[in-house]
Structure formats: C-alpha cells, structure tokens
Structure 1
Amino acid sequence: MGIASENEEFATRAIHAGYNPLEYGYAAVPPIYASAAFDLENAVRGDALAGGLIDGFEYSRVANPTVDVLEKRLAALEGGIGAVAVGSGMAAVSYALMCTGEGGGRIIAPSNLYGASVDALGDFLPQFGIHTDFVKSINDLSEVESRIGPDTRAIFAETVANPSTELLDIEPLAQLAHSHGIALIVDNTVPTPYLLRPIEFGADIVVHSTTKGITGHGNAIGGAIIDAGKFDWANGRFPQFTTQQQVISDDRNNEWHSFASKYGNAAFIKRIRIKYLRTFGAVASPFNAYLSLIGLESLPQRVSQQVASAQHIAQHLSRAAHVMKVNYSGLGYTPQYELVGKYFPRGVGQILSFLVDGSADNVRRIIDGTKLFSYVPNIGDARSLIVDPAHITHREVPAEARIAAGVSDNLIRLSIGLENVNDLIADLDQAIAHAY
C-alpha cells in the first residue's frame, strides 16, 4: 500500500473509527455523556455487568460511552487491541510503568525523556519499589542489554525525544526486549499515530499525552494507553498477571482467575482499567474526550502542515545569525537520516529546538520579543509555542542529565502551529535581532 492510500485510510479512521451513530441515538457526532453512573436496568444485568460477564457501562470511573469512543478510535489508529483513556499524559506514563513494574520490578530508560517522566522514574517510582536503570543512549543495544537483569520488566523510551527530536530505533530494541522476555513501552506523543505507529515495529504498549497533537488545540488535558495485545505477560517475569485476583473472580461459585488466565493477550489493558483506573481514579473527562475526538478529525491535515512548516523553519534557523545549532531530525543531514526514512516517511513532527549564543538574558529577550509565538509549556497546539526547557519543562531533571541531553540555559524549543510559516519566520528573525 502506498503512502497516499495509507493517508486516506488513516484520515477516514480518524473520523469514523469506534463510533456507530445507530448506537447513540443517530447522533452524527459522538455525544458527551455527562453522567457519573448508568442504570443497571435489573438485578440480573447489574450482577453480570459488575462481574464482567457482559459489556456495558455502570460507573464513569471505569468506563463512559464518550470516553469509550475515544479509546476505540485511538486503538484503531495505533493498531492495538484496546486502549484506556486517562486524565493526563503523565497518568498514562505512570500507570503503564507501575502496571509493568509493580512488586519490585526495574525499568530501563534513557535520561533524555520529558522532565516529568525523568522525575517519576528517577525519584518518585522508587518510593513504590519500582527502580530505573538509566542509559546514555537507548539506541545502543549493547548498553541496554548490559542493564537487563532478573528484575527487569520493561524498556521505556520516547519515539521522538523532546526537545532534542532524537529518534528511537524501535525494531531492534523490541527484538532485544522480547528475547529477554521484557516489554517495550513507548511514548508516542510527539509524532502521534499519523506519523508513526510503533506497534507495527514491535512496541508492546504505547502511551500518549492526548493533550498535545491528538487534541491539537491546547484546550483539553488527557492521556491514553494502547495495548498491542502481543506480549506474553505470563512468561514468569510478571507475577501480578498470574496471581489470582478477587476483583475479577467469583468467590461465590469458587471461580478464581488471574488477569492472564481470564483475559489472555488483553491482560495488560484490562489490568490498567480494572486495577489502576478504577483504584487510582485518574479518569478522563467525557468533555475532554469529546474535544480529543474533535481534534482527531483534523489530525492528518494539521500535522502535515505543521511538519512542513517545522522543516522550513528548521532550515531557516540553521542559517540564522546567533543560532549555533538546530535540533531537528527531519533535516536531511542528521546522523539519524536512515531512521527517518524507515520510521517517519511523513516527517518527524512539529517540535524543534535551537541553541543560541550569548547568555540566558539573550534567551529571555528572544522569548519575550516574539509576537506570534506563545510562551507556553505545551506542544502540538494549533498555535505556535516557544519555551526555554531548562527553566520550564525540564526543571526537575538533574543538572547532569539535563546537560547530557543538550538542555542548557541557551536552548529554546519551538512547537510549530498552523500560522503562516513566513509570518513565523519573520517573528523569530525580529525577536532574535532585537535580543542582541
């Protein structure tokens, strides 16, 4: 199948997947179900719903019709067997890592992750008995393999690192992980499933901050976890999946189940919903899910324009005065050029960063001097955004890891929106000129 036909198929799924108007009162657009709970109808049906014998809705902390459409659509777009939408991207990251590592597991990860992810892995999750072995380069298979031990449960990485735009070589990393019986979990927030579908290259679990490119308009916080449904969670490394659980068993009839025995290849995503969403309660708002669904409808068109503009701006900045380095893997001369062709034929995304000479004062003057770019710690918005990562998005990252990832006081990150690209370039030019 060619790129053109793939684009058309994706665009169709982005609008229609997971929704049948006949099941929702013939509403053309998925309705917002602003209801905390749903009538169980009768005692027999209520007991069957609570026991998981039939599908349906009983309480919005576990499932909601509007959120359900979003979950089905995201699973379809990523090529997974199921998804759980949650209240934020960090809830998605935290739930996926905790569900994998609970009970004393270890995670392997690079230190060039989003700041809050580094904080969670390095400082917070250890308080829950989940520890991380950080590596300098997640694409260095020898380094990664050297950190795999008997307690290792998963490898976690971003498909496109923020703000360096360093690309993840998914396929060999997945093969390495699977040869040791551990899972590969990837954060696919930056490219969105329009630019990359990691499951096709061997990823087991995909997480998103739907706040970013998926919703696309900076108006709704959300996250999602998508399960490829191919990993064997009963392979001996994950006792939480093979231990019998009261919540999915029927003690009245002496029927006992583990997540692996009851749900098979859907064990992970079912545990996320039944244990993590239901217990910790980072529930996706039906209204936010609705906004994400609306955002998805224009995802291919938005991202295509943003990628084209980001490419143009990166090329311009690489020749601009006072710019010492541009980080954008979409430029044709980067060391990861071959990975771009393999994984990102449509482009690597809308974020880029650049290093300027001078001092932190010059950086502040550039940021304050822009007129079209909003000083906002978000990405994937329809508006173009600018931020100084060392002081905002990566503030909680230890200095050594920050510097190793290239996040210095002189680094500026851009998220390119839908404005006219020439207007954006003119705005950057005048801001840089006035900053010196």
Structure 2
Amino acid sequence: MLEKLYRYLNNETGERVCTDITDEACKHVPKNYFLLIFSSVFTKLGDTLSNPKTVLTWLMSYVNAPIYLISLIVPIRESGSMVPQVFLSRYVNRQSIRKWIWVVGSFLQFLAIASIGFIALFFEGTTAGWLIILAVIIFSLSRSICSLSSKDVTGKCIPKTRRGKLKGYTVSISGILVLLAGLYILYKSKSDATINFYSNLIFFASVTWLIAAIIYSRIKEFPSNIKSNEEESSFISKLGLLKTDKHFRDFVIARSLLLCSALTAPYYVLLAQKYIGKEAYLLGLFIIAKGIASIISSPIWGKFADKSSKNVMAIAVLIASVLGIITFFVITYFQSIRSLTWIYPIAFFILGIAHGGVRLGRKTYIVDMAKGNQRTNYVAVSNTVIGLILLVTGGLSALVSLISIEGVVLVLSLFGLLGAFKSYTLPNVE
C-alpha cells in the first residue's frame, strides 16, 4: 500500500527513481518517505501552535512583556538554531547513524516549549518576557541539532526529484491540521480566551515534538561514511568554504537577503494589535490564514522546487517584498483602511504563501547542491552565518520597531527585492 501511494504521489510508473542514494536505501524509500512526512507534520503543527511570529508574540503581549523583548523572539529563535551548527557539525560528521541526534533534539524541544506554558501561567510583565526568551534559547539550541541532522537523513533516504514534493506534502498536511487548530481558537475565543487557554495551547504544541521523536526513530537509515579525526575539517576551514566555493557563497548571500519573509511576520501581528486590538479571535484568524496558505501553496511550491528550487526562492521572496511595500503605504497613508480587521489576516495569508516558498526552495536547493558530509558542512556554515546576520538585523529591527513598526516592514522588504534578484542568478542544481 505504501509503495502504491508513494508511486501515486510522485507520478512514478516505471522503475523507482533512486538518484543520489544507495541501493540499500532505495529499498526503503516508501516507508521512510511517509515516516519523514508524518514526523515533520507533527513538528510543523507544533511550530505553528508555538510560533514566535504569531502565538508567542500574542502570548507575550497578553502577559504584558515589553515590546523590545517581543521583537527579539524571532531572531533569537532563528539565530539560536543556526549559529551553533558550525561547531556541532564536527560531532554530527562523526556519527554514521544520525537519526538519533534528531530524536534527542526533538525531545528537548518538547521540554522547552512545555516550560513556556508554565511561565505564562505563573509570571507576568518583564519577568515573564525574559523567562520566555530563555526557554526560546533552549528550544533553539535543540532545534539546531535537528536541523543539522535532518538534511543529511533526508539526503540519504530520499532520492533527488522527490525531496521537494516530500516537503510540499508535509507542509500541506500540516496546514490542514493548522487550519483546524485556528478554527478551534476562533471558536474558543468567544468564551474562554484566558491565560489558561493560551497555556494549554502551548502544552499541546509541546507534545507534538514528543510524538515526532517517536515516529522519526522508526526511519531505516544506513550508515554514512565518516571521517577520522585527522580528516575532519576544522571550524576555520569550514568557514573557508565561503571564500573557496563561489556557488556556495552566492547561495548564502541570496539566503541572507531572503530573511524579510521571516522577520516581517511578527510585525503584521503587532500592527493588527495596534490598530484593531488584542481580541483572541484575531489570533485564530492569523493561524487559519497560515493554515490555508500552506494547504494551497505547498504542493505547488514542492513540485516547482523539484524543477528549479532557485526560482521558487526568487518568486516567493518577491511576493513577500511587494506585500511589505504595499502594507507600508496602506498603514502610513490610508488610515480608514488600516482600521479594517480583514486586511491583516489577508496580508498574513499572502506572507504565509511567500514564506512557505522561501523555506521550501532554500531547503531543497541546499540538499540537492551537495552530498554526504559536504551537505552537513554546507548546512552548518550557511546556518551559522545566517544566524549571526539574524542577530544583527533582529536587534536593529527591535530598536526601529520602537519608532515605527511599519518602517521595519518596508526596510526588510526592500532587502527582499535584492534577494529575489540574487536567487534568480543562482545556477540550477536539480
């Protein structure tokens, strides 16, 4: 049944495609394909229900955390999961089986997110804000080892021209669950939008990482070729890839310019709270918008990414940038429109489509660009560099947001236009 479903989803009628994986791994592709889908579905559901761009922004505002702390949670979560990777890659490269690294990381994320639920119940104001920041840091470090190992596990278990569809189906299925969660929040907001409700939402989100860890442990992974200590690249030599490998360097530059789709998201939520209010139904609408965006766009992005992932990055970030520029002018010059409730979920829906394409495109691109330990090094170096850039841009955005929230959206969107051009100039790797 898995074989038939796998062939149907990938339009495979003849001999199974096993490009870029071993003959042993080829025998287990259908089973691993669906284990990867369902483990990722649960983590993506958890990500949405504890997302710093929506739920944590809302939660921190609800417990009266300062706005500068709210502005920091996205760059801290993203950079915290990226910066350590170049240091951790040395350990990962020495492991012939890497799925267990992901399992441990997923369990630690379960503990970190669960702690945020308790913080929201028992603390308020600046204290709650800093404790949530601490929990997000722990979550991010745990996420770091998952990110570092997952690309290689996918690269070993799933053939080329199937990886984009895998990610597309994953996001689409999780989008359905996210849509249901958003509808539930919308329903409960009428009667029970208390701190207990938000905490229970976070507790439920934490459990998804525990379920995902159990599913991921069932993946059939075959040993990698590992290097001896003498052969293992040093930290400096890994960073040297940026100097010696022009293709990789161009990808990192392009990726750094794609950050607008991630960094602008919480500011759409803050704009809605500023001009509409903090009613819980708005949070439900944001989550519903994200869910529908994932359901509609992800299979299309996934199919497109297997043909040209660099074009997916370019088109997606262009959408996010144009949206941000339009949002700035609407908020600044059309006061009657900015007070309309519906414009914020619609903007978030469009941003969700764009950000989904950016993420799926860049992940497919880097997995297809390299092999084996080279892939691990590429992921580690690029994520570390992007993490450092996120800390700087996130800190600057937090300061600017104290002056003008919509101004941050405009500046980040202008950088996104450069990212679209740079992504389009990258060579195809499919």
TM-score range, shorter chain: under 0.3
**Based on CA coordinates, which of the two structures has the bigger radius of gyration?**
1
Please report the TM-score for the alignment, with normalisation by the length of structure 2: 0.24
Q: Larger % of helix: which?
A: 2
Q: Larger % of strand: which?
A: 1
Q: Which one has more relative contact order, counting CA pairs under 8 Å at least 6 apart?
A: 2
Please report the TM-score for the alignment, with normalisation by the length of structure 1: 0.23
